[in-house]
Amino acid sequence: MGVAGELYLSGVQLARGYVGRPDLSADRFVASPFGSGERMYRTGDLVRWSSEGDLEYIGRTDFQVKFRGQRIELGEIEAALTAHGSVLSAAVVVRGSVMGDQLVGYVVPAVGSVVDVSVLRGFVGERVPGYMVPAAVVVLDAFPLNSSGKLDRALLPEPVFEARVFRAPVSSVELVVASAFVGVLGVDRVGLDDDFFELGGNSLIAMKLTANLSSTLDFDVPVRMLFGASTPESLAARIEEARESGSATPDDHAIGVLFPVRIEGQRPPLFYIHAMSGLAWKASGFAPYLEADTPIYGLQTPVMTEAWALPTSVDELAHRYVREMIDVNPTGPFNIIGHSVGGFIGHACAVLLREQGFEVSLFMVDPRHPREVDDDVALENTRDMAASWGVELGEGADVNSLDRSQIIAIGKTLDSVSFMTETQIGALYDFASASGELIAGYEPRKYDGDVVMFRAAAGMDMDFTVTDEWRSVIGGQITDIDIDSNHTSMMHPDKLELIGPIVAEYLRTQEKRSS
């Protein structure tokens, strides 16, 4: 509900295709995943379900573009513009500028109305993510039309972009850092205040960035430096401080129980709970999709930094993580997303928080019982742990032949985790190995709220789904969203292109309801 998607039609009334157009027929008439040999028609219309059960038309999907690393529907922005009472019609395009690609909105005023551009941009910002708000809005008396009477986007006038504050790098380290951002993110230029994660960076790109910086500066810049210092100004300052002290170990943010990705912002934070790897670095992948004033934190296994024995239950971890959440956000509400075993822990956290009277929005990313993921639980957990380090162990990899000491040795060769001690890497391995047993006999208590369930659909039996496993312990509505992915890859950047905007849209909808 409230999530935009393309409208498909099916049934006995459906045509067989377009006459004499096999190419167009193949594109629009596609196989239905819900029947045997049936077809569906892709309308190209972007719609969403309303709370009243009606389909709301948003726009067309013909103009899907990739903008600053995010795949967006221009029709969704156009629908937000036309939802304002002063606007009769709208069009959105991507234009090049000295500041890089920018979204530009063109609007025709409604009869008798005057469009206040600043008010309109604020109105749109309440309905779409910040990265989808047009940088400029051009008001026209009428749209240019082609000979068929349709909008001719090529004839839309060039906009005049408002000047914005751009603070250029000054010191040599700032210049190196900003240049490295440009290189790995593929953007035109980067200023001192531009955030790595908001520009489309993620934990895997962060490894490439820090490797480049280490080579250029001839000084070890571990990936953990970027977490909590993700602008060129703050990262350069952290590097210079480490150089002066002769140590590249400024803090334990990267391995602490509470892992800060973005701490500024007035909106309720998003808390991401780790998978079997125990690390929550992939929380950074949500930064480009959420509003810029939404804090983001990861929650990580305590075994790396505290004198913890391996946890013996999901509830034990849930109590620990709830304390961290309440310390950050004492009055709530709480937005929680957990992948794999993190889904189990997130569900338990939601139960505890609801018992204390807090409002909770819960997202569960393929929280499957380990026996469904792979017959060899330890093997799958090792794959998951390796993936969190940026290493892909294919299906044919002989992981079973590696013992604990060999896994630790591999970790010490990787930039992503080489800063950890052997004890810490070993603790991660032990946690990953034990995670299957942690949830094998777990009996969840009932959570009385709604859940958005992201399900890995690749190679999975959809007759009895992960939703069916959880239905008895979820009292509210379950919104199922299938992702073409296997279990381990659900948090990869290409999958987050699908998951991130859905999470952002759901949180905006919840915020509107509570206001």
For the annotated catalytic residues, the residue numbers are 487
3-state secondary structure of 447: strand
Strands 334-339 and 360-365: parallel
* Structure tokens belonging to residue 477: 């509505």
**The 3-state secondary structure of 70-82, one letter per residue:** EEEEHHHHHHHHH
Upper half-sphere CA count for residue 339 (Cβ side, 13 Å): 29
Q: Which H or E element spans position 124?
A: helix 117-125
Preceding omega of 333 cis (within 30 degrees of 0): yes
Cα–Cα dist 245/219, whole Å? 12
Residues 6+ apart with CB under 8 A from 476: 447, 448, 449, 450, 451
Q: Where are the beta strands (DSSP E) in 113-180?
A: 136-139
Cα–Cα dist 412/406, whole Å? 10
What is the maximum span of the chain, computed from C-alpha positions, in angstroms? 75
Strands 102-109 and 136-139: parallel
Q: How many CB atoms lie within 10 A of CB 118?
A: 9
Cα–Cα dist 106/158, whole Å? 10
Per-residue burial over 189-209, b if 16 or more Cβ lie within 10 Å, else e, is ebbbebbbbbbbbbbbbbbbb
DSSP letter (8 states) at residue 61: S
Among 510, 513, 508, CA closest to 125: 508
Given a contact cutoff of 8 angstroms between Cβ atoms, the answer to whether 29 and 160 are in contact is no
Counting every residue, how long is the chain? 515
* Structure tokens belonging to residue 249: 């170990």
Cα–Cα dist 121/110, whole Å? 16
List helix spans (H) across 363-484: 370-373, 377-388, 404-413, 422-440, 466-470
